[in-house]
A = this chain, B = another copy of it.
Amino acid sequence: MSSSRASVGTGRPPRPASTGLRRSMATVCVSGTLDDKIAAAAGAGFDGIELFENDLVVTPWTPAEVRARCADVGLTIDLYQPFRDFEAVPPAALTANLARAEHKFDVMAELGVDTMLVCSSVAPTAIDDDELAAEQLALLADRAHARGIRIAYEALAWGRHVSTWDHSWRIVARADHPALGLCLDSFHVLSREVGPAGIAEITPGKIFFLQLADAPRLSMDVLQWSRHHRLFPGQGSFDLTDFVHRVLATGYTGPLSLEVFNDVFRQADPARAAVDAMRSLVTLEDSLRPSEVPATGVRRLPAAPPLSGHAFSEFAVDGESGPALRAALRGLGFAHTGQHRSKPVELWEQAACRVVLNSAVTRPQTPGTAAVSAFALTTADPHRSRVRAEALLAPVLPRVRGARESDLAAVAAPDGTSVFFSRDDDWRADFLPTGEEFSGAAGLTVTDHLGLAQPFDHFDEAGLFYRSVLGLARLTTEEYAAPFGLMRSRAFTTPDRTVRLALTAALLRRGEWAPAVVDPQHVAFATADIFGTASAVDRLGGTTLPVPDNYYADLVARFALPTDLVERLRRYGILYDRDQHGGELLHLYTPVYGGRVFFEIVQRIGGYDGCGEANAPVRMAAHRHLRLSTS
């Protein structure tokens, strides 16, 4: 099906959907030196940047050159950040701090930036005296005002005496200076007990700057949490829609500015990270009430059309991996039902389970390997699905369409997989019937889920991509120990569960010692009777993954299952899981084909909703042992 692929992550992406709100990104969000960061922000369509002092200090460009360079690519510098440990100090320190500030005002004048971020002091010498803090900040604001500069005061969650937004607001209100206002950072607000409710009471115009970051809920020191684990909006657990709503309700009209400290993003390709950042902002804005965003000439994001299932999964194969996959599919009861009209592409089917084997994929691939090169989802409106994806900066893939062939819209996911949008089963008309039919004996009914290992740098990006582009919801998030290191998994789904995607990544990027399958991918098919299916697969000569006896001995101890059930599970190498509501999963796997791909058969009982992550370590070890025993 797919035959041309966009080069993901290179080239200028389409302009993002606009709402009229200004979008900014702190230079700390992405990796590189200042030239990399400016290029990345501009390339992703940001309007401005927050310039982090350290990025300026290490650049060979003068501040005036930085200003010109930003202007050249259409960026303003919206904030100079941060100035630290200023307020509530003894008189001698105040003099030194004001002198220090004047140096920074000089730099800001050259940069052409009019707002300076002052973080609440973390110095052990800071004095716990709001009146002193207000007085000294007013002095600073006086100096700033004379230079046409505004001071945005921000409560760090780990500030020495001022660590909550409401405390910082009391100080700013007390100082009552036109050049002194607040900087609100969603992390510092939402990581603390003081909720955002009172934001409505902030005097209109006194929020000078709004910084946005999401984060997972972690039980750890707030400073470490903030410095290592922030995420772009929509990737974590904070309710940023509510937060931004409250801030906009005060009349705030400044930029929505991302300030995300994240260990992975700090190492990753800045051009891609900036696109991820922009996607997060567009998605966040889309979640706001239309009345809250300026409506001048805006292009709202089209709503995600409802999805109703996995249409097909496509594997790229070659002369070596192709035969292995064909044999595997036959062993699972599939038949080769169709041959593409114009390409070396085969359709394999069993009920509504469809697999496409593509020998013409142009993507470079190690000889003998196979990969999930594409998957197609059934959508109520393929065109709208594609327009939404494009507005969310998904690279839209060009496609060569032959006569009488359907026009499947496709975009590239962060791991390079093509995602097709199809309405109904029109796409099947591209295949000429071979006359083969599947017998139905194996009883597979439909594709249950796809399991796709993600590139380390793009795990959170991929999650946001699928949520925002496809309109999926997060289903599960897990972290577990596997034989070759810790793993993360996160699954996404539709409300009716007809589409499920399970993403995985190693918790630490793999090193040289990695005997496991690198970046495995799999397609899971559903059955209503896994024992019937397993028995049919046996008769068909299909191969399933051997599971150690020790696993079953442990099952007996863990779940107190009836002995005869465990014996039946053991006989067919069926794994078992039970959720906290009593839902059960029975599932089995095939060996790995083409070095990377495999199939799974699942039977869900009683509303089991996950993807069997608890058994992933067993599967990984079994795959390795199988490889060792056959090599």
Contact = CB atoms under 8 A, between A and B. Distances in A.
Interface of A: 28, 31-33, 36, 53-54, 56-60, 62-63, 96, 99-100, 103-104, 106-107, 218-221, 223-224, 228, 263-264, 266-270, 456-457, 481, 483-486, 506-515, 546, 548-551, 553-554, 556-558, 560, 617-618, 620-622, 624-625
Contacts of A512: 269, 457
B549 A62 contact: yes
B554 A57 contact: yes
Contact of A550 (B62, B263, B558): B62
A58 B484 contact: no
Nearest to A510: B267
B553 A267 contact: no
B486 A266 contact: yes
Contact of A59 (B106, B224, B621): B621
Contact of A31 (B107, B269, B483): B483
Nearest to A483: B33
Contact of A32 (B59, B62, B457, B484): B484
Contacts of A58: 483, 548, 550-551, 617-618, 620-622
A551 B617 contact: no
A557 B266 contact: no
A103 to B, nearest CB: 4
A433 B556 CA distance: 78
A267 B62 contact: no
A560 B484 contact: no
Contacts of A624: 33
A484 B224 CA distance: 19
A484 B96 CA distance: 33
Q: Closest 3 CB pairs between A and B?
A: A58-B621, A267-B485, A103-B557
A413 to B, nearest CB: 18
A596 to B, nearest CB: 19
A513 B269 contact: yes
Contacts of A481: 28, 54, 266
Contacts of A63: 550
B107 A59 contact: no
A484 B267 contact: yes
Contacts of A625: 33, 59-60
A266 B512 CA distance: 13
Contacts of A484: 31-32, 266-267
A511 B268 contact: yes
Nearest to A96: B560
A248 to B, nearest CB: 32
A561 to B, nearest CB: 12
A191 to B, nearest CB: 14
A585 to B, nearest CB: 17
A31 B28 CA distance: 34
Given A269-B512, A270-B513, 8 more contacts: A54-B481, A60-B549, A60-B622, A107-B550, A264-B508, A266-B481, A268-B513, A457-B513
A66 to B, nearest CB: 9
Contacts of A36: 515
23 contacts: A28-B481, A31-B485, A57-B548, A58-B483, A58-B548, A58-B618, A58-B620, A60-B622, A99-B560, A103-B553, A103-B557, A218-B221, A219-B223, A220-B221, A263-B486, A266-B486, A267-B484, A267-B485, A267-B510, A269-B513, A456-B511, A508-B508, A508-B509
A618 B509 contact: no
A220 B456 CA distance: 24
Given A60-B548, A546-B60, A551-B58, A514 B267 contact: yes
A78 to B, nearest CB: 19
Contacts of A31: 483-485, 513
Nearest to A622: B58
A557 B220 contact: no
Contacts of A485: 31, 263, 266-267
B268 A554 contact: no
A58 B483 CA distance: 9
B617 A54 contact: yes
Nearest to A628: B35
Nearest to A32: B483
A96 B549 CA distance: 22
Contacts of A220: 219-221, 224
A546 to B, nearest CB: 7
Contacts of A219: 220-221, 223-224
B507 A509 contact: no
A92 to B, nearest CB: 12
